[in-house]
Each structure stands twice: as C-alpha cells, then as structure tokens.
Chain A
Amino acid sequence: MHETSLVLSLLRQAATILQSHRGAAVEQIRVEIGPLSGVEPLLVASAFDRLVEDSDCRGANLVIEEVSLDARCESCSREFVIERFRFVCPNCSSRSVRVVRGEEFRLLDLVIREHESAVGTSGEC
C-alpha cells in the first residue's frame, strides 16, 4: 500500500520531466533505495510493474540501485557504514553521527528515447 503511493509519485515526477521533451518516451527509470528510505526494493519493483503501464511512462524499465546507510562521525571524521541501525561511531563511540547516504528513495536519472518524428523538425538527431 505504502510503496504504491510513492511509486505513483515517482511516475508523476518522471512524466513531468518528460513534458519538456515533447514526443519522447521513457525507456528506463533509475532509482536509489537506502535502508532508511522507508521502502522495500522488491515491493517497489512489483508496484512499478503494476502501475507503469497505465502511466505516461509505459514501456519503461525500472533499475534499482540499493545503497548502504553511510555515515560520517562528527567527532573524529571517520566514514563508515551503519550496521543494524546503531548510530554510533565504530572508531570513537561518539553518537554525533551524520548520515550521508541511505535515508532516501531517490530518482537518479531517466533514459528517454526521442520520437522518430521529432528528428528533422527540431534539427536534433
């Protein structure tokens, strides 16, 4: 249920970007999912399969990059991967830890295919 609303947001976001490329179609949507994103990759993939065909992105492929929860200690500057959601520096045990990656469900990029008829009229190839 929850992945459904976020995948609908994703498809709307991609469709909005597509609007500035008139006549194009989306071939691929690449996303990043981190451990604190609140979404589960398998459920995102199945929601996407279910919802994409009724959207402006029909025919597009979803690529999911799963990332780790990366952090930086604000006390000793050590960079590390947070294990088991323990926000503690493995080097100095400080609790002042800043997450640098892995809290988000991000839209990374789109691969679009310009429509054939756009070639020639816009001068682009």
Chain B
Amino acid sequence: MHGTTIAVGQPVGASLREQARVLRDQFTRAGTLVVNLVSSPGAGKTSLLEATARHWAGRYRIAVLVGDLATERDAERLAPFVPVRQLTTGGACHLELPLVLRGLDELGRPPLDFLFIENIGNLVCPAAHDLGEHLRVVLLSTTEGDDKPGKYPKMFRTSQILVLSKADLLPYVPFSIDRAVEDARLIQPALRTVSVAARQGTGIEDWCRLLVDERDALLEANP
C-alpha cells in the first residue's frame, strides 16, 4: 500500500470556467456583447440599465438578467423598458454561471446585440466568478468614498470599465473623481472611466457610446 501523487495543476472550478468560455464564444459568434455589472448595493446598477434602455429606445436588441437574493423588484423596475428576467439566488452572495444559463433559457435565447447581467450588490464575491461576459463594468457611486477601489483589489483588477455614478451629488460629498480613478488605476491601469448621473441623464450618451464601441470592436475582431 502506498500513496500515489496525481499531479493536477488546474484552477478550482475549472469546468465552470470552461463553460463560461464556451458561452462567451457562442455570444461572440452571435454578435452579442455580454456585460456583467457589479457594484456595492445601491450604487445605481438598475438605474443605469433603465437609463440605457430609455436612451436607446429600441435601437438595439437588448435583454437583462438581474440577480438578487430575494424579491423581483429590479426586474419589475426594468420590465417596462427591456426584456428582463430575475435570477433569485436565495442565499448566494454572487451569481454563478448555472443560474445565468437558466435565465437565458427563460428569456428564450433571442438574438441580441447586448446582454446585461446585473450582479448581486457585492464588491467581494462576484469578482471570482466568470459569467461568460465580454465586459465587466464596476460602478462606484460618489456617496461611497473615493478610497474604496484599493479595498477591493480583485474586483477592480478584473474590471474593464469604471462607472462613477451619482455624479450629480458631487457638490454635497467629499468625493474626488480624480482620487477614485487614481486609486482604481493603481490596481488596473487599463480601466476606462465614465461619470454618470443616471436619473438626470448626464453621461448616459457617453456610456452608451462606450458600449457600442466595445461591441463594434468585438465584431471587428471576430468577423
């Protein structure tokens, strides 16, 4: 009797990651840009999605999957503007691929230009889970403090776009956009940034243009 060592050298959750890669490739081929929105609770993800849907007003084919532990509130808010399904996790603090796949089936897998996944409000756990997205967008609102990016290294490291939300509150809070961006870029120098005030519509055009540019780049790279 002896112990035999079997070398593995795989990330934990490798098979789920592979499934996420496969899903991403499928969406790439279908011309759908998949966006994973992350933030703390209340930073403005749903408001941003509402403003996006209203701005485009049907110009693009979009759908939303929104994740929460409980309630269908976000889906109800968005339903007048965009096809949406609520993903209810029960206790889980982050979305995982199987639940996203189920939501896609419920949507009926229509052809889309953009698929938005609104993650659970949480800057910690969602960072480690690939949902098949092309773009990870992290929202940081002006009421959260400009010293936060450094506290959530994995989330900011794995994101490509930083949306500074609730910009209309800047006169009332000790938040410096420059400090927040500098802090975030120490972790992820490639972060692109945009400031928005979703309820006023400020910055929404820039944000939407960024999304269109990202999708164009994806389509160009994958003819």
Q: Name the prevailing secondary structure of the B interface residues.
A: mixed
Complexed CA–CA distance, A104 and B127 (Å)? 12
Contact residues of B between 51 and 102, Cβ < 8 Å to A: 91-94, 96
Task: Confirm or deny: B4 has a beta carbon within 8 angstroms of a beta carbon on chain A.
Answer: yes
Question: Given the interface contacts A2-B93, A106-B9, A110-B8, does A37 sit within 8 Å of B189 by beta carbon?
Answer: no
Residues of A within 8 A of B9 (CB): 106-109
Complexed CA–CA distance, A6 and B91 (Å)? 15
Residues of A within 8 A of B221 (CB): none
Contact A9 B5 (CB under 8 A): no
| A interface list, Cβ under 8 A from B | 1-2, 5-6, 9-10, 13, 17, 21, 24, 27-28, 31, 35-39, 85-88, 95-96, 104-114, 116, 119
Contact B125 A2 (CB under 8 A): yes
Contact of A110 among B5, B12, B93, B96 (CB under 8 A): B5
Contact of A2 among B1, B7, B94, B150 (CB under 8 A): B94
Contact B186 A105 (CB under 8 A): no
Contact of A38 among B4, B16, B127, B189 (CB under 8 A): B127
Complexed CA–CA distance, A36 and B4 (Å)? 30
Task: Confirm or deny: B10 has a beta carbon within 8 angstroms of a beta carbon on chain A.
Answer: yes
Residues of B within 8 A of A116 (CB): 1
Question: Given the interface contacts A2-B94, A37-B128, A87-B189, does A111 sit within 8 Å of B12 by beta carbon?
Answer: no
How many inter-chain contacts with C-beta < 8 Å in the A-B complex?
A: 103
Task: Confirm or deny: B223 has a beta carbon within 8 angstroms of a beta carbon on chain A.
Answer: no
| B interface list, Cβ under 8 A from A | 1-16, 91-94, 96, 124-125, 127-128, 150, 153-154, 157, 185-189
Residues of A within 8 A of B16 (CB): 9
Q: Name the prevailing secondary structure of the A interface residues.
A: mixed
Q: Which residue on A lies nearest to B151, using beta carbons?
A: A85
Q: Which residue on A lies nearest to B125, using beta carbons?
A: A2
A118 to chain B, nearest CB (A): 10
A52 to chain B, nearest CB (A): 14
Contact A85 B8 (CB under 8 A): no
Contact A6 B12 (CB under 8 A): yes
Q: Which residue on B lies nearest to A85, using beta carbons?
A: B153
Contact B3 A111 (CB under 8 A): yes
B118 to chain A, nearest CB (A): 19
A-B contact pairs, 21 of them (CB 8 A): A1-B91, A2-B124, A2-B128, A5-B92, A5-B96, A6-B13, A10-B13, A21-B4, A37-B128, A38-B124, A85-B150, A85-B153, A87-B187, A95-B185, A104-B11, A104-B12, A108-B7, A109-B7, A110-B8, A111-B5, A119-B1
